[in-house]
Chains A and B, each alone.
Chain A
Amino acid sequence: MVETAGAALEAIGIVKRFGTLVAVDGVDLELARGEIHALCGENGAGKSTLARILAGALAPSAGRVASDGPVGLVHQHFELVDRLRVWENVVLGREPRRGLRLDAAAARERVRSLAREYALDVDPDAVVESLPVGIAQRVEILRELAREPSTLVLDEPTAVLAPREIDALFATLRSLAARGAAIMVITHKLQEVISHANRVTVMRGGRVVLRAATAETSLDAIARAMVGGDVPALATRRAVTPHAAFAARDLRAGDGAHALRGASFEVRGGEIVGIAGVEGNGQSALCDAIAGVVPYAGEMTLDGEPLRGNPGARTAAGVRTIPQDRQREALVLPWSIARNVALGDHTRPPLRRGWSLDRQACDALATEIVRRFDVRAASIRTSVAALSGGNQQKVVVGRALAHEPRVVIAYQPTRGIDVGAASLVQSRLIEARNAGAAVLLVSFELDELLAVADRILVLYRGAIAGEFVREGFDRARIGALMAGAA
């Protein structure tokens, strides 16, 4: 490979072990000055571990990293001090001093000139907690740029951004690269790779399985490399006679920036309604209100009947939820699969018999879920803590869809699971829809909604900002509404 601009960073034979787990297994990587390099792979492929090693935040078990300057790392979950101002965050740890005192004027000026230089528009005096995520990310990038890195690594930087913000981010990264920096972006959104990166490296199981110039590869080839085979096709949607199933009127819940401020909508039986929006625009409050786990105002009906009561009563009425945090909100981690599948249905037949749980019924249900959802586990007696995230999620989704649900509330059901498992979960949701369930699907991945939903509602600042039916899905328009366009 000809590197006209030269290497900014070179990693040779990187290995990282955590106990018996080999997270990174002999990776060689070279980042050239002036390039945007995409690093792809499924969850657990070793991308984030590799990124931390490149940035010097983690020592490799073997191998070495050579770099011709500092390496900046922009974390997936921002590491900013929320209560401090932008300029304070940027200079934190490298504060300009005058004698014993912090030279605030100099620091502020430095941040301002840095922001101007890189065209990263932020107010140096804003308090970080008041900033939207897209802007907070700029602060995180500025902080790394203040160290004048020769290489900048960004871990899933687009996960929290609206499409328009993503374009702005890549414009910034492009200009940084043009000044001679090497940029590495970890992402699982393959469209971004094709559109914005020069080269791509794909990892699977800690090893590099594909290196290519993006001009010479395809979305399909990258996806196949990530999965290690073909990506399974989604279930086909069938025509269903829709009848009114779930309706919400002027629903309000939560408080502060992430509150839901009056949403009215309907999800008919046999329909998947996608909730599009950037994280933190009221999605959690919406789902929690429907599940009955938070106080709310407004009305909900199920086939015209008011939906009330505690979460147990709602479950019994056929409202099933796939919560945001499967490990805390959905599963009892030390318990077996067979014991977990009863949670929420332990109070009623068929899983309850008299004072006891019906073990045979629980085992039968667990066996059925394991089979239908292809849960990879030694047996139904395996503790769910021992399962991978994807397999845990399959148990959660399997349980939610097991009892012919009338309403399914799915919050990011494919977050953090591999492509194969995600596709299976999406297919099962489509099948539930085909069987007549009203499915509400919250996702921060617009592509997921475009592929799966019959209708999309855009949630922005706690209110519904737009509605699109499948025939009229307009990626650009939905993206604009997600970012707050009128």
Chain B
Amino acid sequence: MSRRNAAIFAAVLLAIAAGAMALAGANPLAGFAALLRGALGGERQLSETLVQTTALLFPSLAVAFAFRAGLFNIGAEGQLIVGGLFAGLAGAALVAPGWIAIPVILLAGAAGGAIWGGIAGALRARFGGNEVIATLMLNIVAALLANYLVVGPFHAPAATGPETAELPVSSWLPVLIPGTRLTISLLLALALAGALSFMFARTVFGYALQAAGEAPQAAARAGIDLRRTALVALTLSGAIAGFGGATLVAGVLHRFNVALSPGYGFIAIAVALVGGLDPLWIVLAAFAFGILQSGSLTMQALAHVPKDVVGFVEGLAILGLSARRIANPREESA
């Protein structure tokens, strides 16, 4: 999508959002004002927006990673959940100083996501299975599997909800601003965006990955193994999403709960596409979607606009941005 088309698309979405607010009986201007105040109106609001930005950034980078390799990973949600589950189980079981426990928890999350992405990658590499279908279906498997495990075998005895035992405080991610939920995971996400940007632009690995995505036949003739690329790309994409799930567990909830993600992995598709699959633009796009996520409750309270308006608009964005990609996943990006 060109920058101009992106602007038109954003304008249409804003108009639809305004219409939805009006239909809900609210003044759209008041609605937008409340949304912005709720997201940016003070330190607490801004930090909460950055928490949402971070939560979106990991799966968005995961989606972009696969996409650059020509693979449409719409399973970031499932990979994020499995990653969170692995992190929650590892974190609850592990008694160790934070400098050991925290890396182990995050890597456990990455491993969980990598397995989940890798299944789709292996199906594609071995049987030529369509990764769109595989990743989509694995979302459902992930949600049901996580639900079963935390209601059944791994249910924390003291907990009331479907969740694992709480992590020891020493295993929590360090907070950036005292009194907020904003942790160093924001810095990790930004570093990852920078690293991916460098990887795509400079490294041989990124070169081969994108060649396979943009021109598979030419890549194959240049000795790039397309099957291996599919496996590696979906595995690493899953690892990034799983890592993001682990940061939510270790940084926000301090345990795994089935309600870990309100659909970050799906919104991530829109974020990645709005960001033109460019990691640095995706940071900005994630911030914009973070504003929507965190401002919606204030909007509901102050302007009496149901927060579902935000979900509705996000859903439209995902649909509008991904429909063409599903029909023709190899279409040129950005």
Residues of chain A within 8 A (CB-CB) of B211 are 332, 343
Question: Within A273-332, which residues are at the interface with B (CB < 8 Å)?
Answer: 291, 293, 310-313, 315-316, 321, 323, 325, 328-332
Q: How far is the CB of B206 from the nearest CB of chain A, in Å? A: 9
Inter-subunit contact B214/A333 (CB<8 Å): yes
B319 at interface by CB-CB < 8 Å: no
Question: Within B223-261, which residues are at the interface with A (CB < 8 Å)?
Answer: 223-225
Residues of chain B within 8 A (CB-CB) of A343 are 211, 218-219, 222
**How far is B217's CA from A352's CA once the two chains are assembled, in angstroms?**
22
Contact with B along A184-202 (1 / 0, CB 8 A): 0000000000000000000
Given A312, A315, A330, A342, which contacts B218 in the complex, CB threshold below 8 Å? A330
**How far is B210's CA from A336's CA once the two chains are assembled, in angstroms?**
13
Beta-carbon nearest neighbor of A343 in chain B: B222
Inter-subunit contact A332/B214 (CB<8 Å): yes
A321, A328, A334, A343 interface centre (most CB from chain B within 10 Å): A343
**How far is B225's CA from A329's CA once the two chains are assembled, in angstroms?**
14
Given A291, A315, A352, which contacts B204 in the complex, CB threshold below 8 Å? A352
- In this complex, how many residues of chain A approach chain B with their Cβ under 8 Å: the count is 30
Inter-subunit contact B223/A334 (CB<8 Å): no
Inter-subunit contact B223/A310 (CB<8 Å): yes
Beta-carbon nearest neighbor of A325 in chain B: B217
Inter-subunit contact B207/A357 (CB<8 Å): yes
Inter-subunit contact B203/A332 (CB<8 Å): no
Beta-carbon nearest neighbor of B334 in chain A: A334
Given B214, B217, B223, which contacts A329 in the complex, CB threshold below 8 Å? B217
Residues of chain B within 8 A (CB-CB) of A347 are 204, 208, 223
**How far is B220's CA from A311's CA once the two chains are assembled, in angstroms?**
7
Q: Decide yes or no: A328 and B204 within 8 Å by CB, A312-B224, A315-B223 being known contacts.
A: no
Q: Decide yes or no: A355 and B204 within 8 Å by CB, A334-B332, A343-B211 being known contacts.
A: yes
**How far is B208's CA from A352's CA once the two chains are assembled, in angstroms?**
12
Inter-subunit contact A311/B221 (CB<8 Å): yes
Inter-subunit contact A335/B203 (CB<8 Å): no
B205 at interface by CB-CB < 8 Å: yes
Inter-subunit contact A344/B223 (CB<8 Å): yes
**How far is B215's CA from A331's CA once the two chains are assembled, in angstroms?**
7
**How far is B223's CA from A316's CA once the two chains are assembled, in angstroms?**
9
Inter-subunit contact A356/B221 (CB<8 Å): no
Q: What is the number of contacts between chain A and chain B, taking CB atoms within 8 Å?
A: 69
Residues of chain A within 8 A (CB-CB) of B203 are 355-357
**How far is B220's CA from A329's CA once the two chains are assembled, in angstroms?**
8
Given A293, A334, A359, which contacts B220 in the complex, CB threshold below 8 Å? A293
Inter-subunit contact A315/B222 (CB<8 Å): yes
Inter-subunit contact B214/A357 (CB<8 Å): no
Given B202, B214, B223, which contacts A335 in the complex, CB threshold below 8 Å? B214
Question: Within A107-164, which residues are at the interface with B (CB < 8 Å)?
Answer: none
Inter-subunit contact B202/A356 (CB<8 Å): yes
Question: Within B34-78, which residues are at the interface with A (CB < 8 Å)?
Answer: none
Residues of chain B within 8 A (CB-CB) of A313 are 223
Given B208, B210, B215, B222, which contacts A311 in the complex, CB threshold below 8 Å? B222
A346 at interface by CB-CB < 8 Å: yes
**How far is B223's CA from A321's CA once the two chains are assembled, in angstroms?**
12
**How far is B224's CA from A291's CA once the two chains are assembled, in angstroms?**
13
**How far is B207's CA from A347's CA once the two chains are assembled, in angstroms?**
10
Residues of chain A within 8 A (CB-CB) of B224 are 312
Residues of chain A within 8 A (CB-CB) of B204 are 346-347, 352, 355-357
Q: How far is the CB of B70 from the nearest CB of chain A, in Å? A: 11
Inter-subunit contact B214/A312 (CB<8 Å): no
A293, A315, A332 interface centre (most CB from chain B within 10 Å): A332
Question: Within B190-207, which residues are at the interface with A (CB < 8 Å)?
Answer: 202-205, 207
**How far is B207's CA from A166's CA once the two chains are assembled, in angstroms?**
47
**How far is B217's CA from A293's CA once the two chains are assembled, in angstroms?**
9
Inter-subunit contact B218/A332 (CB<8 Å): yes
Contact with B along A358-399 (1 / 0, CB 8 A): 010000000000000000000000000000000000000000
Inter-subunit contact A332/B221 (CB<8 Å): no
Beta-carbon nearest neighbor of A351 in chain B: B204
Q: Decide yes or no: A323 and B221 within 8 Å by CB, A333-B214, A342-B207 being known contacts.
A: yes
Beta-carbon nearest neighbor of B198 in chain A: A356
Residues of chain A within 8 A (CB-CB) of B222 are 311-312, 315, 343-344, 346
Given A329, A334, A355, which contacts B221 in the complex, CB threshold below 8 Å? A329
Given B202, B217, B332, which contacts A328 in the complex, CB threshold below 8 Å? B217
**How far is B204's CA from A312's CA once the two chains are assembled, in angstroms?**
14
Q: How far is the CB of B9 from the nearest CB of chain A, in Å? A: 21
Given A323, A346, A359, which contacts B208 in the complex, CB threshold below 8 Å? A346
Beta-carbon nearest neighbor of A331 in chain B: B218
**How far is B215's CA from A121's CA once the two chains are assembled, in angstroms?**
43
Beta-carbon nearest neighbor of A314 in chain B: B223
Q: How far is the CB of B121 from the nearest CB of chain A, in Å? A: 20
Residues of chain B within 8 A (CB-CB) of A359 are 202
Can you give 8 A-B contacts (C-beta < 8 A)?
A: A328-B215, A328-B217, A333-B214, A334-B332, A343-B218, A343-B219, A347-B204, A356-B202
Q: Show the binding face of B for A, using Cβ within 8 Å.
A: 202-205, 207-208, 210-211, 214-215, 217-225, 332
The 8 residue pairs across chains A and B that have the minimum distance between CB atoms: A312-B223, A344-B222, A332-B215, A343-B222, A332-B214, A329-B217, A328-B217, A356-B202
**Given A316-B223, A334-B214, 17 new contacts (CB under 8 A):** A311-B222, A312-B222, A313-B223, A315-B222, A329-B221, A331-B215, A335-B214, A342-B207, A343-B218, A344-B223, A346-B207, A346-B208, A347-B208, A355-B203, A356-B204, A357-B202, A359-B202
